[in-house]
A and B are shown apart, each in its own frame.
Chain A
Amino acid sequence: MDGKQTPAIEALTHLRSKICNRNSIFSFSSDAPDSNYNKLKFIVSNSVTEACNNSVLLLGSRGCGQVEVLDLVLEDLKAEYPEIISVVRLDGVLHSDDNCAIKEIAKQLCSENQLLFSKMASSDDNTQFMMAVLREYGLAHKTVVFILDEFDLFAQGKQRLLYSLLDAMQSVSSQAVVIGMSCRLDADQLLEKRVRSRFSHRKLLFLPSSKEDILRLLKHILTLPEDSMFPRDYVITFNKKLHNMFEEAKFKEILDTLLDADSSVHHVLNFLFVAVCNMNLESGYLSVENFKTALLSIQRPYKLDSLQGCSVLELYILACMKRLEDKEQNSYNFNSVMTEYKHIHDSYRISDYYARNVSLRAFEHLLQRELISFGDSRGQNQSIEFRPVKLLISSHELLQGLKLYRSCPALLQKLMTGELNKMKAHLVDVEMID
């Protein structure tokens, strides 16, 4: 790479920052009249203009744009009604503790109103402060929007925060909106009775986008703007190639495989990001190959990958465990696995037989890789050999992994496929003849 920035590099940087800026991506899906954007905007703006309290839950699986759509709504409303909307953001991951959450609310309200926040204030002081601020806001006809991300985590303890927030919603003097976001669809069922009765039971469901939407999204993101600093002919060829590619059957196939696994927008964005990163900088255009490699690196068969990393000895141990499970032995530990290993060794005369110490180390590796795990959390001061273990990998995966494994001993595969019984019979025959 030399110092001179080629259009390809500039385009790459442009596309990357576009993908990373998630808010702008959702802006384009907001035009439909019944979109969540419009519904949410109606609720919040209602509260702003009519001076009433509201509460709403945004539900839907992760990465479907709850946060982004909400941000867009707030951004637009702030532009529409300047200086009368304050936003308080909480996150269940950070503030699931009630005291901590109240403190954070007080802190954000302080910085919003250029007040000095006292670190020493007790939780009680902070609650009173919050109530006072809410009252003042109501009198001044200003709206506070409380955003509770990971709403389900707030419902863990005594729900004091939720109660005091939703209780404040009941009074006429305040003017606030509580917006909860959660990936649990049953989030409102987690609430206590006293909290639930104060909640408005408005819920907006965010669904993963359909294939058509995703395709539109792709076009929206990847198309380069014509009126920009890029050379004009470069942009035209880039966009033309892109649109030709979207029509290709191969590309559609890739997109289908991607969406079959997970059609949330964030997942698609990750995929796009990798694809764009793979763009060939010399030619400067995206190709189907880029998307293909991106798909492979986004959707990895994790268990199979980690099987490929195993040594032959580790595979033997896995096979032994599998055999023990086939024999319906529901609890076993390293010692029983070793007995099985020895048994296999004795009956089939395998060449790869290692001492107990060595096998134990391999066993530890498997634990580290999390292909196997301890059956229970009890007995943590026991040695590894004596604790019950279980397989974390299905027999199908194991079989598939063995097939892909380079230089896998033939016997090991036979062990798994059950052909061994035949072989054993054969061995017995041979011995009889001898």
Chain B
Amino acid sequence: MDKENSGQVTKRTTRASASSTPSKNTLSNQEEFEDMDKENSPQVTKRTTRASASTTPSKNTLPNQEEFEDMDKENSPQVKKRTTRASASTTPSKNTTDYRPPSLLDNLVFREQQSIISQDELFSTFPGRKCQILELLRLFGPINSSLLPIFLYGGPSSGKTSIVLHIFKHLKRPFIYASCRTCHNPRLLFESVLNQLLLHRKDSSNAYSSAKRCDKPSDFVNMLRESLMEVINSLRVNSKKSGLKESGEQGIGGMVYIIFDNMELVRDWDKDSVIISMLFKLYDILKMPEVGLIFISNNSPDTYHLNTGSVEPIPIHFPEYTEDDLYQIFLRNQRDPKLYSSFLDVVLKDSCKITRCIDELSTYFRLLFEKYCEPLSGIGRVPNQDMKSKLYMHLKPHVTPSLNEVFRVPSCLALELKENKEKVGKKRNMRRLGDGVVPDDIDFHMSVSAKYLLISTFLASRNPATLDAALFDSAGGGDNTNRKRRRK
């Protein structure tokens, strides 16, 4: 129950943010959903990567994903429970009935008895990540020990976020999680952190507004300091109260950890990199040893070029999975491990030469595996050597086309205009025309003038904005500014 509350907080944030900018809402919602998934159940790693795989824009992933979710539900009762919970939290009416005055510890810590995970469980949930988990555990150290800022980096879907969140679940310590992807501008990021600290939930009673309005870094630091003080004080009081009782088991303690995910995106927010240097300097600015800062990023620290430089946090590298790790990861949660392992024997080595990114591979493998199973009449039979080679022969012709299908990169234009699906469809057709590829037939009627309009929008979108002004602005916008400049 407690967890559900914390889930809602984050969930809500995205919704509100989504409403402010319609263009990004699909993406950010999904991301947040992933985050939630990761937080909620220990055995979802596999699933989350799959969900994220659907961000790679190929058309046939979507229906498949649903299918997979169904499958998962059938497989494990625990996951099913979780799904219903997640769906419950999306209906606002239920929230209000469930509403309890939030208490600090419930909200900032994973606190469900059943969900305590041991260290061994951590290792088995994340194959091939033992080194990193141990290193992180060592850095977090025993309870109440201070932490210098640390910086986790590694390619996409290498388990950075989920490992950190699971470790906090394991350690049972209070933390705040803010992803710079869902909070896509400084204001949302600041408010999301403050909301979590102040235990504020966006809901219909407060018109989905944040606890405090805050868009300047200077205000943020002031408010952050105040609210952190409060939280730390209440933690201290709490640990005194329950000190005797809880000294036996680990957990809570006097530290608050703040996790900033997807730091690489912050670089695009502002030109003069004020926000990013502020975040990296936050530890020095706050001067509170009770606050631990954790940064997560796709890119290594050397790619953060700051004009004023900064002291680097402690780096922790999450390398790409090796082939053996991938083998283990893909075998997890398979209905028919033997069949799948024979399938992996065939395809894994070659596909590792192309990419070792799990979400891409899983989309690709899903397609191929269907093809691979086609000759088999009933699932459950263990293929013998003979059968294996037969299956392989059947699979071979499908490899290249599905590679092409899965790894297709949508044009840059299509990405920009994703908010309007229909438009994108048209645009794509236009683009193919431009590339000299045979165009797909337009399967709906379009008037001639509409076609002209489309073509002209396409042309206009490829022109620099200044050219448009010079050609179409009746006042001759370009000339005017030029004259002014000359006068200066």
Contact = CB atoms under 8 A, between A and B. Distances in A.
Contacts of A94: 216-218, 221, 278, 285
B148 A309 contact: no
Contacts of B156: 368
A84 interface: no
Contacts of A1: 142, 250
B201 to A, nearest CB: 25
A282 interface: no
B301 A383 contact: no
Contacts of A9: 142
Contact of B146 (A17, A104, A302, A382): A17
Nearest to A265: B311
B413 A383 contact: yes
B353 A305 contact: no
Contact of B403 (A267, A306, A358): A358
Given A13-B144, A277-B139, A309 B320 contact: yes
Contacts of B322: 406
Contacts of B147: 16, 20
Contact of A93 (B274, B320, B462): B274
B62 interface: no
Interface string B269-298: 000001001100100110001000000001
Contacts of B404: 355, 357-358
B142 A12 contact: yes
Contacts of B249: 3
Interface residues of A, number: 66
B314 A298 contact: yes
A145 B317 CA distance: 42
Interface string A17-29: 1011100000000
B384 interface: no
A365 interface: yes
Contact of A357 (B146, B408, B461): B408
B218 A306 contact: no
Contact of A91 (B248, B285, B289, B462): B285
B474 interface: no
A94 B308 CA distance: 13
A309 B356 contact: yes
Contacts of B413: 381, 383
Interface in B227-279: 247-250, 274, 277-278
Nearest to A308: B319
A150 B308 contact: yes
A362 B354 contact: yes
Interface string B52-74: 00000000000000000000000
Interface string A231-275: 000000000000000000000000000000000101101100110
Interface in A282-316: 297-298, 300, 302-303, 305-306, 308-309, 311-313
A368 B461 CA distance: 25
A300 B317 contact: yes
B101 interface: no
A355 B402 CA distance: 11
Contact of B311 (A267, A278, A302, A352): A267
A354 B249 CA distance: 55
Nearest to B400: A355
Given A20-B146, A383-B412, A352 B139 contact: no
B148 A20 contact: yes
B386 interface: no
A158 interface: no
Contacts of A184: 308
A359 B247 CA distance: 56
A270 B314 contact: yes
A306 B298 CA distance: 11
Q: Which of B281, B354, B400 has the most CB of A within 10 A?
A: B354
A360 interface: yes
Nearest to B289: A20
B314 A273 contact: yes
Contacts of A95: 218
B245 to A, nearest CB: 11
A360 B409 contact: yes
Contacts of A364: 409
A420 B474 CA distance: 61
Contacts of B360: 361
Nearest to B465: A381
A277 B140 CA distance: 8
B16 interface: no
A243 B144 CA distance: 28
Interface string B386-414: 00000000000000100110011101110
Q: Which of A352, A381, A406 has the most CB of B within 10 A?
A: A381
Given A278-B138, A305-B300, A381-B412, A183 B407 contact: no
B312 interface: yes
A354 B403 contact: yes
Contact of A62 (B218, B289, B310): B310
Contacts of B148: 19-20, 269-270, 273
Nearest to B349: A407
Contacts of A270: 148, 311-314
A406 B352 CA distance: 12
A62 B284 CA distance: 12
Contact of B299 (A17, A355, A362, A370): A370
Contacts of A267: 311-312
B409 A361 contact: yes
Nearest to A90: B218
A166 B300 CA distance: 41
Contacts of B298: 368
Interface in A47-95: 62-63, 67, 91-95
A100 interface: yes
A361 B142 contact: no
Interface string A397-418: 0000000001000000000000
A17 B289 contact: yes
Given A1-B250, A297-B314, A370-B303, A309 B403 contact: no
B141 interface: yes
A269 B400 CA distance: 52
B155 interface: yes
A352 B353 CA distance: 8
B218 A100 contact: yes
B308 A152 contact: yes
A306 B300 contact: yes
A93 B315 contact: no
Contacts of B422: none
Contacts of B139: 274, 277
A357 B407 contact: yes
Contact of B409 (A297, A306, A384): A384
Given A67-B284, A277-B141, A297-B135, A383 B311 contact: no
Contacts of A153: 308
A364 B56 CA distance: 12
A337 to B, nearest CB: 14
B217 A381 contact: no
A274 B285 contact: no
A300 B151 CA distance: 12
Contacts of B135: 297
A86 B133 CA distance: 46
A104 B319 contact: no
A177 to B, nearest CB: 21
Interface of A: 1, 3, 5, 9, 12-13, 16-17, 19-21, 62-63, 67, 91-96, 100, 104, 150, 152-153, 183-184, 264, 266-267, 269-270, 273-274, 277-278, 297-298, 300, 302-303, 305-306, 308-309, 311-313, 352, 354-355, 357-358, 360-362, 364-365, 368-370, 381-384, 406
Nearest 9 A/B pairs, CB to CB: A309-B320, A20-B146, A361-B407, A302-B300, A94-B218, A312-B353, A3-B248, A302-B302, A13-B145
6 contacts: A3-B249, A20-B146, A277-B141, A313-B354, A361-B408, A384-B409
Given A153-B308, A297-B316, A311-B352, 5 more contacts: A16-B146, A93-B308, A300-B317, A355-B403, A383-B413
